[in-house]
Amino acid sequence: MNPLWTLVPPLAVIPFIILFGEKQRNLREASIILAGIVLLALNDRIYSDVMSGQVASSGELKLLANFSLKLSVEPMGVMFGVLASFLWVVTTVYSIGYMRGHNEKNQTRFYCCFALAIACVMAAAYADNLLTLFVAYEAITLSTFPLVTHAGNADSRKAGRLYLLLLMCGSIGLFLPAIIWISSAAGTLTFTPGGVLSDAGLSKGAATILVCLLVLGVGKAAVMPMHRWLPAAMVAPTPVSALLHAVAVVKTGVFTILKVIVYIFGIDMVSSTNAAQWMLPLTAFTILASSIIAFTKDNLKARLAYSTISQLSYIVMAGLLATSMSVTGGAFHIVTHAFGKITLFFCAGAIMVAAHKKAISELDGLGRQMPITMSAFFIGAIGIIGLPPAAGMWSKLLIAGGSLDGGNALWVGVLMLSTLLNIAYLLPIPLRAFFKPPSSDISEISEAPMPSLWAIVLTAMVCILLFFFPQPVLNLLGLIQWR
């Protein structure tokens, strides 16, 4: 099926959102969920097409002389598309409880920008060439900017400024030159199995610099020192943090890096020229440093934000290791981390709505009042850490295996060390909630609104389901053409 169709539901729903507005909130949110389900069905259709060997692409729109906007279907993109559309539905369900429970203002603008961002994510997922991906990447930045500054107060405007500045500076200042360089060296920007740069006659140094431009320029992947926007953007409403800053936005970043490494550089070229030699240590540093910083944060969302930074660098590292196994692991980690982290964010939001607590030190004994939320938090946490029975284990295992495959055990060490740190900063939270006596009177607190709770339970269940049934994703990723 033509992947262009996936842009239709999120865009078509925007007029309805505006039309229904604040006056008919139920209709407004029902229309979003309907659009989400249609989108999910479309993506599912594309998924089954790909599994049965059909590959479709859209027509092309000529933008510049040799470059055009075009969408086409490719295994990694299908995975990302299905993931984002599924989580859009779940997040919308969650938002209904959260936004109403929190009495947020400007909900119509919120849902509009949200839908727009999802449309852009679809364009990114199915991009046929680097230019299309870049366009979608920029569009995501711009359409999510109003979401970050949603509250409109000084804090959120400052965060919005940082968000826009870091992401745009990175993409225009580093990523765009890399694209122009690639296009002048290879003459094409189309994603091609095996990459387009292998015959371009780039020197080893040039390839290394290109990798640097890529990894640092794609600021959404939040590799240090381009990570500052991510914790700052946590001022956004929790559903935004959940879907956009744990899934759509940041995953677009790492997805971009994986796509470029596999289909522009080609994994053979990256490993044979050792082009990642400068960036691999940087990702390792990011993994460890942000885990340590997460450790020091008492604000729950801030801790999760730093945890996200560290997990994103796993995926970037997996890409840079450039073996088929590690890249598969990295791509799979996009999924497993998405479900784990969205569960954690949902829980953080639920705690904020129901108990009005933001700091970890205030959570003592909360497990008795909010057992479902805190159990889900526990599942999400073990998913992030990578313990069975949660799916995070498989992806971490694959990345580690890929690293050994490439003959470098050092990075396995980094992964394991970071796992220990994960345990240290994530597990105390549910343990505190369940086993510590409540510090103050919290008996009036009860669970979050029902829609939010359903969403939490659903994502937590998927974390576990993917542990037992990882095949649908892995089979899909098995279709990637490496050469």
- Residues binding other proteins (CB under 8 A): 61-65, 131, 134-135, 138-139, 142, 146, 149, 152, 156-157, 160-161, 164-165, 168-169, 172-173, 176-177, 180-181, 183-184
Closest approach of other proteins to the CB of residue 210, in Å: 13
Q: Both ends of the chain: CA-CA distance in Å?
A: 25
In terms of CB distance, is 140 or 275 closer to other proteins?
140
- Contacts from 72-75 at CB under 8 Å and sequence distance 24+? 72/3, 72/126, 72/128, 73/3, 73/46, 73/49, 73/126, 74/126, 74/191, 74/263, 74/480, 75/50, 75/476, 75/477, 75/478, 75/479, 75/480
In terms of CB distance, is 134 or 314 closer to other proteins?
134
What does DSSP assign to residue 262? I
Closest approach of other proteins to the CB of residue 121, in Å: 16
CB-based contact 124:141 (threshold 8 Å):
no
Angle at 321 between CA 135 and CA 386, to 5 degrees: 95
Q: Which CA distances in Å does 180 have to 39, 195, 259, 262, 278?
A: 33, 16, 17, 18, 22
In terms of CB distance, is 183 or 373 closer to other proteins?
183
Closest approach of other proteins to the CB of residue 62, in Å: 5
Closest approach of other proteins to the CB of residue 67, in Å: 8
Closest approach of other proteins to the CB of residue 196, in Å: 17
Dist CA 369 CA 279 (whole Å): 45
CB-based contact 309:230 (threshold 8 Å):
yes
Residue 455 tokens, joined? 């969403």
CB-based contact 314:399 (threshold 8 Å):
yes
Closest approach of other proteins to the CB of residue 103, in Å: 17
In terms of CB distance, is 61 or 410 closer to other proteins?
61
In terms of CB distance, is 49 or 60 closer to other proteins?
60
In terms of CB distance, is 147 or 456 closer to other proteins?
147
- Please report where in the chains the tokens 């359409």 appear, as a residue: 143
In terms of CB distance, is 138 or 405 closer to other proteins?
138
Instruction: Point out which residues pair with 62 in neighbouring strands.
Output: 68
Dist CA 275 CA 80 (whole Å): 26
Residues 6+ apart with CB under 8 A from 312: 221, 222, 223, 250, 253, 254
Instruction: Point out which residues pair with 69 in neighbouring strands.
Output: 61
Closest approach of other proteins to the CB of residue 153, in Å: 8
In terms of CB distance, is 174 or 351 closer to other proteins?
174
In terms of CB distance, is 213 or 250 closer to other proteins?
213
Cβ atoms < 10 Å from Cβ of 434? 18
CB-based contact 147:241 (threshold 8 Å):
no
Dist CA 404 CA 261 (whole Å): 19
Which H or E run contains 61? Answer: strand 61-62
Closest approach of other proteins to the CB of residue 79, in Å: 25
In terms of CB distance, is 177 or 413 closer to other proteins?
177
Closest approach of other proteins to the CB of residue 135, in Å: 4
Closest approach of other proteins to the CB of residue 168, in Å: 5
